[in-house]
Amino acid sequence: MLFKTALNFKQFKPLNNIKLLNNHKKMKLTTNQILEQNQELRTKCLVYTRVMGYHRPVESFNIGKKGEHRQRTHFTEGKCC
């Protein structure tokens, strides 16, 4: 499953500060500053989920299916060793 990473997504928690190397000087920019500088580069991100053995975009779901998708428990696998 692919996860949506956009600011309007409830579970997205951006980092407070991101260090970037710019013109051989270290700059400390906040997430909001980076987003403001690169606003024209942002694009819509589609979320796909597996339904009945195939993948479908979540945005094509009806209201009931979207609610069901939000209530699902997402699992992450730990490292084996």
pLDDT tens digits along 14-55: 544 444 444 445 678 888 888 888 888 888 888 888 877 888
Res 11 pLDDT > 60: no
Domain boundaries, the chain: 17-71
pTM above threshold 0.85: no
Under 8 Å between Cβ of 49 and 1:
yes
Res 6 pLDDT > 70: no
Q: What backbone torsions phi and psi does residue 58 show, to the nearest 5 degrees?
A: -65, -30
Res 81 pLDDT > 80: no
